[in-house]
Structures are given as structure tokens and as C-alpha cells.
């Protein structure tokens, strides 16, 4: 509509051309209405008839096609930026959770190892043939070990926990700013579907659990990899996170049926 008989008609026609989210559309229409009514009231105060004042305000403001095109372009750019920012934030949260889970899995492995299960958790398979240099190095740094396999196992029991704990600690440090930003910018949560985060998390940690269990079982059966207990503990931790993510996904799906805006 290039012209309108009243401000209400103009707003109705403009609303049909806008493609932004309902919240943004409502705010934009409210701003347009406020501007048009202020301008028309200023004209009425000068003695111009109400209808003529509204038509004049509309003509000076622009056609609905022009205004809608400009607003749709702005909202699209804003939406694209919001989606990119929200996606980046989601990736950071998933990485943070993964790092913390690694740290917790390392703590669980160390607890089991302290109950006399060092070989079951970190053990080097008995059929592994190591190089002479590796054997000499491990025996040198683990003087209490009687064999190369035992030395390698003890070395793994020292090195792996440090790697796990360092990863978990970095995850905790990263979690502070990541989740503070997430809690403060609640409006960005609505940019992405509520089901997206739990769906990606359940798929990611589910795939990790399957892969880690496969490594642990392969180790237990044919002893091709070492530290089978670590693989199984990691797999269990990933499976727990996967289960939690699936529960959150189901809750998000139920909420989406109750309210499409959730």
C-alpha cells in the first residue's frame, strides 16, 4: 500500500510485510505508530483535520513497502549476527562441559587406582613389545618397577591424571565467563531452537561413549590398547552426560508442544 486512509490501516499493511520475529515486529510497529501519531497530533494542533493530518504523516514517513524492506534487511542482519553469536556460545558451552567431564573421569580413575587397581586402570597390555629406548626410559623414571610393562603402567598412572586434571581445571576456568555470559544474555537463548543444544550434546557424548567403550572392550579382549580401565571410565562419564542431555532434549520437546515460543 503506497498510501493509507489512516494510521491503523498503515500499520496493518506494514505488519503483513514484516518478516522479523514477533517480538521485534511488535516493537517496531509500536515505534512507527508512536512516530506517526506524534506527527499527526502536531499537525492537528495547527488546525489540520485529523484524517488529513494522518495521511500527511504517512506520506512523509514512506510507503509500507519501503519501510518494510529497510526493516527486514536490518532485522535479517541482526538475526544472522545473533545466530552466529548463539552458535559460538553453544560450542563453547559444550567444549567446557566436555573438559569438565574429562577432569571428573580422571578423578574417578584415580580413585579406583588407589584401591589397588592401578594395572586395571592404566595397565600396559602384557603382549606389547616396546622399544629398548622406551623400556630404558620408563625403568629409569620408575625405579620401583620390576618389568618394562610395570614401569610403563606406573608412568601412565602418573602422567594421565595430570593431563585429566589440567583439562578439567581449564574447563572450570572457562566455565566461569562462558556461563556468566549465558545467564546474563537470556534473550540469546531464544535465537536457537531449545532442542538444538541437548540434541547436539546427546549425539556428541553418545558417539564418544560408543567409541570409548569400543576401545575399552577391545583392550579387554585382545589387548591392543593400554589403559583399558581409563577408556571404560571415560565411556561411562560420556554415557551419563548423554543420558542427561537426552532428558533435557525430551523436556525441550515437550515444552515446544505446550508453547511454540519456548
Rg from Cα positions in the chain: 31
Q: Reduce the DSSP state of residue 132 to 3 states and report it.
A: helix
DSSP letter, residue 3: S
Q: Nearest 5°: phi and psi at 142?
A: -125, 75
Helices (H), 113-195: 118-122, 132-141, 148-184
- Written as tens digits, the pLDDT of the chain (262 aa) is 334 568 888 888 888 888 777 777 888 899 988 988 888 888 888 888 888 888 888 888 888 888 888 887 777 777 777 778 888 888 999 999 999 999 999 999 989 888 888 888 888 766 667 778 878 887 888 888 888 888 878 888 888 889 999 999 999 999 999 888 877 766 555 667 888 889 999 999 999 999 989 888 876 666 556 677 888 899 999 999 999 999 999 998 887 775 544 4
pTM assigned to the model: 0.66
CA distances (Å), origin 165, targets 14, 134, 209: 58, 25, 20
Q: Exposed, middle or buried: residue 152 (CB in 10 Å: 0-12, 13-18, 19+)?
A: buried
Contact yes or no for 102/170 (Cβ under 8 A): no
Three cell numbers, residue 163: 593431563
**Cα–Cα distance for residue pair 215/225, rounded to 1 Å:** 7
Amino acid at each position: 500500500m503506497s498510501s493509507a486512509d489512516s494510521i491503523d490501516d498503515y500499520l496493518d499493511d506494514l505488519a503483513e510485510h514484516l518478516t522479523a520475529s514477533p517480538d521485534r515486529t511488535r516493537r517496531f510497529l509500536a515505534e512507527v505508530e508512536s512516530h506517526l501519531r506524534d506527527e499527526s497530533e502536531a499537525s492537528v494542533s495547527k488546525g489540520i483535520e485529523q484524517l488529513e493530518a494522518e495521511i500527511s504523516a504517512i506520506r512523509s514517513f514512506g510507503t509500507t513497502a519501503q519501510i518494510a524492506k529497510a526493516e527486514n534487511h536490518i532485522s535479517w542482519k541482526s538475526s544472522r549476527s545473533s545466530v552466529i553469536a548463539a552458535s559460538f556460545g553453544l560450542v563453547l558451552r559444550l567444549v567446557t562441559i566436555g573438559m569438565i567431564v574429562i577432569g571428573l573421569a580422571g578423578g574417578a580413575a584415580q580413585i579406583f587406582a588407589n584401591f589397588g587397581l592401578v594395572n586395571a586402570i592404566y595397565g600396559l597390555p602384557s603382549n606389547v613389545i616396546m622399544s629398548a629406548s622406551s623400556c630404558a626410559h620408563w625403568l629409569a623414571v620408575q625405579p620401583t618397577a620390576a618389568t618394562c610393562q610395570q614401569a610403563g603402567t606406573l608412568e601412565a598412572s602418573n602422567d594421565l591424571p595430570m593431563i585429566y586434571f589440567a583439562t578439567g581445571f581449564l574447563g572450570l576456568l572457562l566455565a566461569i565467563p562462558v556461563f556468566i555470559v549465558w545467564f546474563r544474555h537470556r534473550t540469546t537463548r531464544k535465537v536457537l531452537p531449545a532442542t538444538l543444544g541437548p540434541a547436539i550434546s546427546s549425539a556428541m557424548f553418545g558417539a564418544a561413549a560408543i567409541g570409548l567403550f569400543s576401545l575399552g572392550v577391545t583392550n579387554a579382549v585382545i589387548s591392543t590398547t593400554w589403559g583399558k580401565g581409563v577408556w571404560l571410565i571415560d565411556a561411562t562419564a560420556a554415557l551419563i552426560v548423554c543420558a542427561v542431555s537426552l532428558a533435557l532434549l525430551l523436556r525441550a520437546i515437550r515444552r515446544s508442544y505446550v508453547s511454540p515460543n519456548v
